[in-house]
Structure 1
Amino acid sequence: MKAKVQVVIESEHGQLIVHDVATITRTTFSTGTLGLSLSEGKNLLQHLQASIVNQQVSEWLRDTRDCPICGSPRSLKGHHSLVCQTVFGKVQLDSPRLRHCPCEKADHRSFSPLSKRLSERTTPELAYLEAKWASLMSYGLTVDILSEVLPLEGQINTTSIRRQVERVADRVEQAMGPEKGIYLEGMERDWGKLPRPEEPITVGIDGGFVRGRDGKSRGEGHFEVIAGKSIAENDSKCFAYVTRYDEKPKRRLYEVLKSQGMQMNQQVTFLSDGAENVRTLQYDLNPHAEYILDWFHITMRLTVMRQMAKGLPGEEDPKATEKALDHLKRIKWYLWHGNVYRALQAVEDLTWHLDCLEPGEAQAKLFKTVEDFERYIHSNQTNITNYGYRYRNGERISTGFVESTINQVVSKRFVKKQQMRWTERGAHLLLQVRTKVLNDQLRDTFEGWYPEMKEAA
């Protein structure tokens, strides 16, 4: 069997143009010869794409040859080649250079209409695919998978993929409004007139670390990434940024909340680990916001101190460990019920108990940890609530859902399996594309930039 594939193009003037695209030959019949092979399909698409693109360019150039003022044909100065990257392979185009008509007012004597029209040499759909897959896997694997299923062998590489991600992220960043100190909208007297809001929005924020490119060893050169998740009634969205690079962290979080329909009369609950850079991030975004110190981080610190207390020597006081554990139990109970005053008193009792013990390595380490814990509670005392009451009423008290977000947004792409070292800028820009993909917003973003993508879908 021999099958010829042709493309028949009908011009706007009704002329039929036929191009031979491929010839498929089959001499045997089996599962392996059934239909088109992957290589044949890629070859077919590449030749079909080239035929259609060249005809599009030819007709457009013919329509733009004449002067728009007097209608006289512009004279030809020369030709040069122009390469355009498409989903189905590179297409080399003939780009004529025309002289301006004497009746045209121009800064230059000649111009290339095709170069001016195709200012971007990568089609939107290819840019979308490159950015999407590069945010989900390494640049090398992105090159491999796109080259495997599309006719792009030898046409893309890790550098071009990385630059494409950065271009997309830069465009997303430029579209974001300027940073402000306060994001409260309207007047307080008007907030009560707003429609009744939906269920409260819960926002969890936490941090992680990414290995920096400038580190000289595995223990050096890490920088912090803040990531979080906002959960509305029927929607959840994540966000992330590099703390030392991002200049619009509060704007970033505000845009996420607005995309979920946040109103000024809607309750928003922020859960965080109490770090200084996180505390300042969540303020002045909503007048009905509630700020809660994450119970998980409190219990994590208490658990560490319990383990350290079990190592206290008992020569001088056989009940040293038992007393320390009892103090820690009281501290936890007071904090669980939101009694910060009594909790700090119990912490002070514990420090007195440790101070009376015989000095030693275990005692010194626990004493320092308890002092750090006291400062931690004191700094975040306004954000400590009655966790027991919230828990019994089915309200969130912990950022456990954010731990999974850190793993999904940061660890899977930057830390665990990808042994790359990152610049702060490179990591930040990739995070913006990755969160767009995880929030299922990247396609909508591209369709906003290129409406033709929505029409062709």
Structure 2
Amino acid sequence: MEYELRVIVEKVSVTSQEVIQRDTLKVYDIAPPASILELGLRHEEQISLLEKVQNSLLAAQSKLIDTGYDRCPRCGQKLNKRGFTKSKFHAVFTDHKVGIQKHKCTNPECNWQSTPSTAYVFGTSIHPDLAKLQCEQGAMYSFRKAETNLNKMTVHRRPVNNHTNIKLLTNEVGAVIAQENLEPAAVVEDGLSTPELILQADGGHIPTKDKDKRSFEALYAVAYRPENIIPLDNHHRQIENKSCAVSAKDDGLSTMKIYTLNAARKQGMTEETQVTALADGAQNCWTVILSLAPHCNSLLCILDWFHIAMRFQNVRGAEDDAFKETLEGVKWKLWHGKSDEALKKLKLLMTNITDSKKRLKLKKLYNYLENNQAYLVNYEERDQQGLSYTSQVAESHIDTIINDRYKRTKKMQWTHDGAHNVLQIRGLVECNEWADRWQAPVLRALVGAA
């Protein structure tokens, strides 16, 4: 073997460039790799090397930590240094002990001495980057799954990544964001307002801890400009830039209304903006949407075609073969904006169905359309003009924001506040705001918890 590779850390004087201290962290043999497994460092080896580098840096930094003690806090006398105490510090992938200077009062009658720690000096022993990762995992997965994921990243189990810790921190950070989201959105500057805005609202159900109920509903809204709908291919589109509002609060929709208004304003809504709003027909969604009316120029509410089509799909087995054409005729009239004729045709169809179960399905469809008739439009005309009439482009948001976290983990039950807090983080991740906003709420939650 002709060469070896040494990983060395040097402490160097900035002025003279003299090497004050040199430590060899690791020595690697350089040999031909027999397989891909021997090419580079394995996962565990990378974590181990990172831990050694962190320890070297922490050893140098710890001597410079200011504990804030100039005089004895009890009697005001001078203090003497009394060695160092080891305190926990949890970095992103590794755990460490940091030596922090201790002090003792020079007054023999006082005899006060400090017991410094990273939590005392900095407000927390957890690095914010680790807390950010814990919140992301806790918001996107079950808390136990988050614990497992984080332990896989670091190769071994870390008590700091316990699912209870993740749950508490995720809830604290979500609560901070929830409060921040109540603050009024900044006034739209000249040139940044939008003449048109699209808003879509929907809801998803969350299992509840309430023994008298099976679930409660969380509402979600997304606001975006028409020009931000980007085609991916002939059949799929995505929203390039959007703002989200999501709430599970049981407060008569007041929080959701504020969040939705702020989301619309973030996208440039002013009193001159024409808003097109789409919903699935639920009254709570319309209530939230209609609350925007005083804040915009006009508000066009549309029962979106995606949910209409789903309703027709659900009753396709309700009609006899002889009436299939009639049902398609009802749908055709709705598509062409002839809602009165469609409802008459559907009502006539119900009277000719003898099976009570099939008639009930048609009755539900009829009631759904009748209750939302004020929001039925000429969908064919809007389609020809390239105008919005369906929420399909944003329908996956409900799965992403609510269903994936709450319905896929059926064993867990939630309170309104608990679900609401987690949803705030999920909303920021979905709308690509988390990267810019995470630091302040994470720091507030860490210091508050300590």
Please tell me the TM-score bracket, short chain as reference. Answer: 0.7 to 0.9
Q: Conserved in 2, the CA contact under 8 Å of 1:306 and 1:325? A: no
Counterparts of 1:444 and 1:199, CA distance in 2:
27
Question: Does 1:440 find its partner at 2:442?
Answer: no
**Cα pair distance change 1:72/1:50, threshold 3 Å:** farther
Question: Residue 262 of structure 2 aligns with which residue?
Answer: 255
Q: Which residue of 2 aligns with 1:315?
A: none
| 8 A contact 2:318–2:362 mirrored in 1 | no
Match of 2:423 in 1: 431
Q: 1:101 to 1:368 in 2, by over 3 A?
A: farther
- Residue 141 to residue 265, structure 1, CA distance change in 2 (3 Å): same
| Correspondences of 1:38-187 after superposition (within 5 Å) | 38-61=43-66, 64-67=68-71, 73-75=78-80, 81-95=86-100, 98=103, 112=116, 115-150=119-154, 153-155=157-159, 156-177=161-182
Q: Normalized against structure 2, the TM-score is what?
A: 0.76
Looking at structure 2, the residues matched to 65 and 151 of structure 1 have their Cα atoms a distance apart, in angstroms, of 39
**1:209 and 2:208 matched:** no
Moved more, 120-129 or 72-81: 72-81
Deviations along 1:342-380, one digit per CA (max 9) or x if unpaired, are 4444444445x34xx7xx5x2x23443444444333332
Q: 1:318 matched to which residue of 2?
A: none
Unaligned runs of 5+ in 1: 103-107, 312-320, 452-457
SS of 2:126's equivalent in the other structure is: coil
> Which amino acid in the other structure matches residue 174 of structure 1?
Q
The yes-or-no answer on 1:421 pairing with 2:412 is yes
Per the alignment, residue 395 of structure 2 pairs with 403
Could you say if the C-alpha distance between residues 222 and 266 of structure 1 is closer, same or farther in structure 2, counting changes exceeding 3 Å?
same
2:21 corresponds to which of 18, 21, 43 = 18
Structure 2 runs not aligned, ≥5 long: 229-240, 444-450
CA contact (8 A) 1:42 1:149 kept: no
Amino acid at match of 2:336: H
| 1:242 aligned residue (229, 248, 252) | 248
Q: How does 1:279-428 map to 2 (within 5 A)?
A: 279-285=286-292, 286-287=295-296, 288-310=298-320, 321-322=322-323, 326=326, 328-351=327-350, 353-354=351-352, 362=355, 364-416=356-408, 418-424=409-415, 425-428=417-420
Match of 1:307, SS state, is coil
For residues 192-233 of structure 1, the C-alpha deviation after alignment (integer angstroms, 9 at most, x for no partner) is x965844622222222334446679xxx82433333433323
Q: 1:274 aligns with which of 257, 268, 281?
A: 281
| C-alpha separation in 2, matches of 1:409 and 1:83 | 35
**Do the aligned residues in 1 keep the contact of 2:199 with 2:224 (CA within 8 Å)?**
yes
Classify 1:331/1:256 alpha carbon distance in 2 versus 1 (closer, same or farther; 3 Å).
same
Distance 1:195 1:115 in 2: 46
CA gap 1:17/1:132 in 2 versus in 1, 3 angstroms: farther
| Number of the residue aligned with 2:214 | 221
CA contact (8 A) 1:77 1:110 kept: no
- Per-residue CA distance 1:385-415 (angstroms, 9 max, x = gap): 2212111111121121232222333333333
1:33–1:20 Cα change, 3 Å: farther
Whichever residue aligns with residue 143 of structure 1, its letter is E
Partner of 2:447: none
**CA distance 1:248–1:168, change in 2 (3 Å):** same
Tell me what 1:317 maps to: none
Determine the C-alpha separation between the residues in 1 that align with 2:59 and 2:425.
32
CA distance in 1, matches of 2:272, 2:406: 38
Q: How many residues align?
A: 413
Q: CA deviation at 1:77?
A: 8.4
- Deviation of residue 138 (structure 1)? 4.2
Partner Cα separation in structure 2 for residue 250 and residue 204 of structure 1? 13
Shift in Å at residue 270 of structure 1?
A: 1.0
Structure 2: how far apart are the matches of 1:212 and 1:270? 29
Quote the RMSD (CA, aligned, Å).
4.0
CA distance in 1, matches of 2:345, 2:106: 88
CA contact (8 A) 1:250 1:281 kept: yes
Change (3 A) 1:137 1:308: same
Structure 1 residue 444, shift from structure 2 partner: 0.5
For 2:192 and 2:114, how far apart are their aligned partners in 1?
61
2:233 equivalent in structure 1: none
Counterpart secondary structure, 1:61: coil
Change beyond 3 A, Cα 1:376–1:37: closer
Task: Check conservation: 2:276, 2:302, Cα contact below 8 A.
Answer: yes
% identity of equivalent residues: 23
Q: 2: distance between equivalents of 1:264 and 1:97?
A: 61
**What secondary structure is seen at the aligned counterpart in 1 of 2:63?**
helix
Residue 9 of structure 1 aligns with which residue? Answer: 11
Aligned-partner SS, 2:49: helix
Q: Which amino acid in 2 is paired with 1:241?
A: S
C-alpha contact (below 8 Å) 2:194/2:270 kept by paired residues: no
Question: 1:331, CA displacement in angstroms?
Answer: 3.7
Classify the secondary structure of the residue corresponding to 2:198: strand
68 and 395 in structure 1: CA distance in 2 versus 1, 3 angstrom threshold: farther
TM-score by length of 1: 0.75
Native 8 Å contact 2:143 2:167 kept in 1: yes
Is contact 2:302-2:377 (8 Å) kept? yes
SS of the residue corresponding to residue 308 of structure 1 reads coil
Deviation at residue 172 of structure 1 after TM alignment: 0.8
Look up the SS of the partner of 1:409 in the other structure: helix
Q: For residues 137 and 130 of structure 1, what CA distance do their matches in structure 2 show?
A: 10
